[in-house]
Amino acid sequence: MAEKTVLGMDLYWLNFYGLMILTLIEVLAVGANLDPVAESLGTEEKVITLWILTIIAIPKFIMIAAIFMHLYGDEDSGILTMTALFPAFFILIMVLFVGLTHPDAASSLPDWCRPGTYGL
């Protein structure tokens, strides 16, 4: 499994460079002044950075999990991905029930996602 090569370069080197570049983008996104972009989209800079960070974090997550942790393409990776994903359901419950239910969480989240109060 360690001898696979993709696009001529060795898979691990490629993955390594990919991750480095993505992290660099993240740092740049935060450092750079994004006000002009924010005006164009009508929200302030913080929300933009949040979206950029999440968009970049997801591929990094997948790249590490799939390639470095052999969750893809090996003969035993099928079932191991299942085990890795098994707690996803429980994590989702924890995040929904505990993370987002602060009584006076006046947040911009759409109402369907954040449980409201009965005008109590």
Q: Are 116 and 110 in contact (CB under 8 A)?
A: no
Residue type, 119: G
Residue type, 102: H
DSSP state of 117: -
Only one residue has tokens 């009508």, namely 42
Q: Is 7 in the site for another protein (CB under 8 A)?
A: no
**Which parts of 47-66 interact with another protein (CB under 8 A)?**
49-50, 53-54, 56-57, 60-61, 64-65
Q: Are 68 and 15 in contact (CB under 8 A)?
A: yes
Answer for which of 8, 31, 36, 42 binds another protein (CB under 8 A) is 31
Residues that bind another protein (CB under 8 A): 2, 12-13, 15-16, 19-20, 23, 26-27, 29-31, 46, 49-50, 53-54, 56-57, 60-61, 64-65, 68-70, 75-76, 78-84, 86-87, 89-91, 93-95, 97-107, 109, 115-120
